Each structure stands twice: as structure tokens, then as C-alpha cells.
Amino acid sequence: MAKQEIDKDNLQPLAEINRVIHEPARLLLVATLSVVESADFLFLMNQTKLTRGNLSSHLSKLQAAGYVEIKKEFVGKIPRTLLRLTEEGRKAFVEYRQKMQRVLDSF
Amino acid sequence: MAQETDLRNIEQKTFRDSQQDGLMELVMGICMLAISTRLFSRLLIFMLALPVFLFGPLLALMRRRFTHPRIGYVKLIPDKPKSVITGILFVTLVVIAVMAVVFFFFGDVRDINLWMRWCPFWGGTVLAGMFSSLASKSGAIRYYIFAGWSLLSGIVLSVLDFEVVETGTLLYFAVMGGLLVPFGLLQFVMFLRKHPKPGQEVLDGQTGN
């Protein structure tokens, strides 16, 4: 039983977990964007297997939080939505991982 | 640690997916065959330089035309040019040092023909290093096969004796191109079949903003 006791002092980071990133679909998006310089909408859709509407909505939330930069451009006559993680987004992701690690270590 | 591993998996999968079209192998193989047939020039420096300069733009052009409309566009985090150059220089220096020691004991270190004869070994080692790096980035086994093939053919074509000393080097490019072109072509055809061009509404990628 003693082994299963949770170190409550170390659970404080749990309350500080970044909820914008913590949502599974957004976490996958941020993790994918963290390993590339930039990607377009179609590539992210293929990688995450999210639907167009879902992906749009999660990207909008990440953009509103300042974690993702969305740029629309034309390649020839074809429109392209280019996405990249901002510096703020990268920092938030690193912090999120550190906090989650601490929380999981305490269990 | 588990998180690091998962991120590494995501990184490898992203890299693999961005290279699944086989175009890198195809274009690289075509460039190597062009070098081996001396398509661009008989002068060694132009013979090597032109395909190398053509490789990037040609690959980008084909990806824009065939790959991006199907699976989307991704720009991977590029390797630092300094570390790439350092890696190539390091491999080159090690190979030259090994060759110098071997020539000193078993030949004539001042014999320029001997150095020319062993060019495939040097090229094979550098390319094997490059393919090993791609294998580590992607986790794809095929790059290890290319690395092994490159090293093995480099050694074999250096050991064999040819009447004209540069034949070994030209054959090396032909052998590498001969592997990469069919492989790239097959991969490309499979890619086109697996990923038909999606409708315009997906290409637009409206984010609803």
C-alpha cells in the first residue's frame, strides 16, 4: 500500500498543466509541429488523421493561444495554408513535457 | 525517457512520410547515371558538379508537381550546414589517412593513378555515411541497404583493375544509379497508386479563420 501512495507535494504541477496543449488532438498537433520547421494543412491532416473541421478548430485554438502561426500563400494557382509552431509554442511544449514528467514520476 | 522516445518516433515517421514518394532516390539515381555516362561533360569537375547542382531544383520541382498535392508539404528542420560539412570532411580525412597508410606499405603513396583507382572507395564511404544518417533519421531499413551497397561497390570497384583508371569511378556511379533508379521508380509508382490526388477543398486547407 505504501508503494501506491502518491506524493501529494509533487502533484502541484498537475494543476498547472497547460490545458490548451493537454487535449489529445492538440498535443499530437503540437508534437508533430515541434519536429518540423513548417507543414501545410494537408500534411497535418494525413499525419494526425483528424478531419478537416476538427483540424481547423484545434488549429484555431492553438493560434489564439499564440502557439501556432498560420500563413496562407499561393503555390502557383493553388492556395496553401502553412503552419508552424511559434517560439512561444515550442517553449510551452517543452514546459508541458517537463511538468507532465514530474507528475508521472510522482505516481 | 518514454516521451523522448515517442517524440523520436514522431520525428522518424514524419521524415519517412515526407520521403515516401521515392523521388529522392529516383532523382539521385538519374544524376548518378548522368555522371556515369558523362552526359554533361567529359571534364571531371563539370561532370560531377552539374548533376549535383541540378539535384535540388529537380527534386523540388517534382515534389511540387506530384508529392505536395497528394500528401501535403512539410519542411523538415534542416541539418546544420556546419555539421554536414564537418561530417563529410571527417569521413574524407579518415579515408585519405587509411588509404595513405595502405599505399605506403603496399604500393607507392606518390602514385596518382593509385589514388584515382581508389576514388570509388572514397565516394562509397561518403555516400554510405550519408545513407546511414538518413537511416537513423527515418528508421527506414532501405537506407542501410543503400549504405551497404555503396560501401561494397566502392571497395569492389577499387580493387578491380581497369585499363583506364577512371573507369572504376564511372562504373561506381553506374552501379549506384542502377540500384537507386529502379528502386525510386517502383516506390514512386506505388506512392502514386496509394495516394490519388485529393479534391480541391482538401488542397485549400481552409482553417475556418
To probe the interface with A, which of B73, B77, B195 has the most A CB atoms within 10 Å? B73
> pLDDT 10s digit of each residue in chain A, 107 long?
444 455 566 666 677 788 899 999 999 999 999 999 999 999 999 999 999 999 999 999 999 999 999 999 988 888 899 999 999 999 999 999 988 888 887 77
Beta-carbon contacts of A1 under 8 Å, excluding residues fewer than 6 positions away, are: none
Q: What CATH number should be reported for the domain holding residue A99? A: 1.10.10.10
Domain count, chain A: 1
Kindly state whether residue A100 falls inside one of the protein's structural domains: yes
Kindly state whether residue A41 falls inside one of the protein's structural domains: yes
Between A67 and B109, whose confidence is greater?
A67
Minimal-distance CA residue of chain B relative to A43: B72
Beta-carbon contacts of B160 under 8 Å, excluding residues fewer than 6 positions away, are: B168
Q: Which domain holds residue A65?
A: 17-106
Kindly state whether residue A1 falls inside one of the protein's structural domains: no
CB within 8 Å of chain A, chain B residues 51-70: 64, 68-69
The verdict on A51 touching B (C-beta cutoff 8 Å) is no
Set of cell numbers at residue B152: 561494397
Kindly state whether residue B205 falls inside one of the protein's structural domains: no
List strands edge to edge, sheet with B74-76. Answer: A68-75, A78-85, A36-40, B74-76
To probe the interface with B, which of A30, A40, A75 has the most B CB atoms within 10 Å? A40
Nearest residue to B202 via CA among A14, A57, A41: A41
Nearest residue to B107 via CA among B171, B56, B161, B50: B161
A46 and B203: CB-CB below 8 Å?
A: no
This model of the complex carries an ipTM of 0.82
Domain count, chain B: 1
pLDDT at B208 over 50: no
B72 and A38: CB-CB below 8 Å?
A: no
Nearest residue to B48 via CA among B101, B110, B107, B126: B126
Kindly state whether residue A11 falls inside one of the protein's structural domains: no
Report the residue from B14, B78, B205 with minimal CB separation from A81.
B205
DSSP result, B99-145: HHHHHHHHS-TT-HHHHHHTHHHHHHHHHHHHHHHHHHHH--HHHHH
Distance of CA B155 to the CA centre of its chain: 18
For residue B19, the distance in angstroms to the closest alpha carbon of chain A comes to: 13
B71 and A43: CB-CB below 8 Å?
A: yes
Kindly state whether residue B201 falls inside one of the protein's structural domains: no
Kindly state whether residue B203 falls inside one of the protein's structural domains: no
B72 and A39: CB-CB below 8 Å?
A: yes
Q: Long-range contact list for B43-51, CB < 8 A, 24+ apart?
A: B44/B166
Q: Which domain holds residue B18?
A: 2-196
Kindly state whether residue B36 falls inside one of the protein's structural domains: yes
Task: Count other Cβ atoms within 10 Å, centred on residue A96.
Answer: 21
Kindly state whether residue A56 falls inside one of the protein's structural domains: yes
Grid cell 555516400 in the structure block, residue: B127
Set of cell numbers at residue A47: 499525419
Give the predicted TM-score (pTM) of the model: 0.81
Q: Please check whether residue A10 is in contact with residue A103, taking contact to mean a CB–CB distance below 8 angstroms.
A: yes
Q: Give dist(CA B165, CA B157) in Å, integer.
A: 11
